[in-house]
Amino acid sequence: MTTVGQTKLPSSRALLVQVVVDAPVPTVFDYLVPPDQQPSCGVRVRVPFGRGTRIGVVVGTEDAAAVARGRLKLLGEVLDRTALLDAAHLAFLQWAADYYHHPVGEVVCAALPVRLRRGEPPLALGVSAWELTAAGRAADPATLRRAPRQAALLVELQRRAGPVTRPELEAAAGPAGAALRALRGRSWIQACELAAPPPQAVGTGPALTAEQAAAVSAVSNGFGQFGAFLLEGVTGSGKTEVYLRLAVAALARGQGVLVLVPEISLTPQLVRRFAARLGPGVAVLHSGLSEGERERAWQRARLGLARVVIGTRSAVLAPVADLGLMLVDEEHDGSFKQQDGFRYSARDLALVRAQRALGGAGCPVVLGSATPSLESLRNAQEGRYRLLRLSQRAGAARLPRLDLLDVRAQPLEAGLSPVLLRELAATLESGQQALVFLNRRGFAPVLSCYDCGWLSDCPRCDARQTWHAAAGLLWCHHCGAQRRVPAVCPDCGGVELHPLGQGTERLEQVLRVRFPAVPLLRVDRDATRRKGQLEQLLEQAREGRPALLVGTQMLAKGHHFPGVTLVGVLDVDGGLFGADFRAAERMTQLVVQVAGRAGRGEAPGRVLIQTRFPEHP
């Protein structure tokens, strides 16, 4: 017989457990359970494996008396008293392992914070209450005749059938310190945190537009069952406001909310808005946290102490108590795909999770974007997703005007056409902000020798190495290979080495000379390496004083710059003809997103897109 969940096993018999082991093997392994152990599904174990030991998670338990199987190894150590992952979540992870053809133990263990994955004991969250373990629930107080205080506590805990705070216990059973320690020593009780009081909406937000209200009611009418929604809202249309209302509604039903966002750099703004509206009880999961911070956030989500979990890609694997709503912001974003190791699409897994939520009843999942992926648009067209549209900007802001600048036969200065330079000057002179978007960092994408035609090919792969002038490096953005910039041509020894094309570094240099009077803020991965640097740049931009913003796709997404009224887009053409079948789709999305930064305040915005192919669809 196989049991799932936290069922207590009869300890009188030899038992088998099925364990998924954190190792690159596809199978589930059987181990014998030592007579004094009672592992349940979802606890971590240390097991002998090959010549050493490995961490694993119990996914099934079985009465060994019924089956005789060859020579089985004895389980090593049981690392948890109670399950870290419940049966439904284990089943979801096993499904994902199967679907993506990845070793099941690695998938299950990838769902654990790194310390737990290494087998370390969980960090304390801070004791605020005590609860019975499975053994404690079954224990007979009569066996504690010689320890009346322990017996009284046990009776009280069994009567209350849930976590009880120490003051409450002491009110019922007298001073409890030593007796609690003794009961814990018997593994009959464990410390736990009391569930947070139901979060309360602390702010209300603006009155919704008709389209926002329709979106909110369409989704909230579907609470408690599976439903997929595509929220296609132009930039600045108030998608985030829709998410907030839905989260408040889910919380009011006592359910948890999982919000997936593409990038860590977008999280601060979104988190701030969620926290401002929902108060504490918002947990954040992303790779920029320390191991400890991440684990505590994970535990709070699992235990229902945090009801709203906001995280990047891997948060889709995290347990969230009573998950009742899934939100995927910028669903088209490529970063939802894990590209190595366990390869998965967090956006797609979000749908599967929503289908399996609430014990199989399912929950709504909302995919939001101004530029939905083609596959999501198709799903909406075919009726698999319900399409919800926000066609107008919220508040006073209007959508910017888009114009193509045909730059064929135009003299370009570092990729900038005379028209664009003139418009930039006019915008800055009138005290507004302008943004120049070039999705390529570094000084120039290629370094070349005038004498022999040598190009800075990557020695390791088929790409070219980008010249990073400030760092003095040739750097392959494809495979990461780096080398010092050669002083002379490696092939012919010539000294005429020149950059071809431009990156943001070069653009910055040229624009600084052109517009010495305004501050220039460059936002790309090189300029924001130090912690806090990006936030500082964004803060400065949001202040709204005249400034010229130069950046890559880091600038394109999610940010709100009320002072920006002109956006110049350079070099879209490379994206139109890339080898990647998604290149054109991705470039279109980027252009729409970056255009969406313009005119988000009172002043109307304008977007100029330079191209040599103005007739391209």
The residues binding ligand ADP (CB under 6 A) are 206-209, 212, 233, 235-241, 394-395
∠ CA 133-139-144 to the nearest 5 degrees? 120
Does residue 344 sit in helix, strand or coil?
A: coil
Mode of pairing for the β-strands spanning 227-233 and 364-369 = parallel
Determine the interface stretch with Zn ion among 108-116, 208-216, 492-500, 537-545 (rule: CB under 5 A). 492-500
Q: Which does 451 bind (CB under 5 to 8 A by kind): ligand ADP, Zn ion, none?
A: Zn ion
State the nearest-atom distance from the C-beta of 375 to ligand ADP, in Å: 21
Residue 561: alpha-carbon gap to chain centroid: 23
Q: Which does 491 bind (CB under 5 to 8 A by kind): ligand ADP, Zn ion, none?
A: Zn ion
State the nearest-atom distance from the C-beta of 54 to Zn ion, in Å: 35
Pick between residue 140 and residue 580 the one whose CB is nearest to Zn ion.
580
Q: For residue 241, list its beta bridge partners.
A: none
Q: Which does 417 bind (CB under 5 to 8 A by kind): Zn ion, ligand ADP, none?
A: none
Pick between residue 240 and residue 299 the one whose CB is nearest to ligand ADP.
240
- Among 17, 45, 421, 476, the residue binding Zn ion under the rule CB under 5 A is 476
Residue 457 in contact with Zn ion, rule: CB under 5 A: no
Residue 481 in contact with Zn ion, rule: CB under 5 A: yes
Residue 451 in contact with Zn ion, rule: CB under 5 A: yes
Determine the interface stretch with Zn ion among 137-145, 223-231, 257-265, 478-486 (rule: CB under 5 A). 478-486
Cα 127 to Cα 107: distance, rounded to the nearest angstrom: 31
Pick between residue 494 and residue 574 the one whose CB is nearest to Zn ion.
494
Q: Which residue pairs, CB below 8 angstroms and at least 24 apart, start in 245-249? A: 245/205, 245/208, 245/212, 245/216, 246/216, 246/219, 246/220, 246/325, 246/327, 246/364, 246/366, 247/274, 247/277, 247/278, 247/308, 247/325, 247/327, 248/201, 248/277, 248/278, 249/216, 249/220, 249/223
Residue 569 in contact with Zn ion, rule: CB under 5 A: no
Asked whether 541 and 434 are in contact (CB, 8 A), the reply is no
Q: Which does 452 bind (CB under 5 to 8 A by kind): Zn ion, ligand ADP, none?
A: Zn ion
Cα 302 to Cα 589: distance, rounded to the nearest angstrom: 35
Look up tokens 């890559």; give the residue. Answer: 552
Pick between residue 220 and residue 225 the one whose CB is nearest to ligand ADP.
220
Cα 435 to Cα 551: distance, rounded to the nearest angstrom: 8
Pick between residue 341 and residue 459 the one whose CB is nearest to Zn ion.
459
Mode of pairing for the β-strands spanning 520-523 and 497-500 = unpaired
Pick between residue 440 and residue 557 the one whose CB is nearest to ligand ADP.
557
What are the CA-CA distances from residue 227 to residues 138, 220, 317, 478, 594 (Å)? 41, 10, 20, 38, 30
Residue 488 in contact with Zn ion, rule: CB under 5 A: no
Q: Which does 304 bind (CB under 5 to 8 A by kind): Zn ion, ligand ADP, none?
A: none
State the nearest-atom distance from the C-beta of 365 to ligand ADP, in Å: 17
Q: Which does 239 bind (CB under 5 to 8 A by kind): Zn ion, ligand ADP, none?
A: ligand ADP
Tokens of 283: 């947990």
Class of residue 329 by CB neighbours under 10 A (exposed 0-12, middle 13-18, buried 19+): buried
Q: Which residues contact Zn ion by CB under 5 A?
A: 449, 451-452, 454, 458, 460-461, 463, 476, 478-479, 481, 489, 491-492, 494
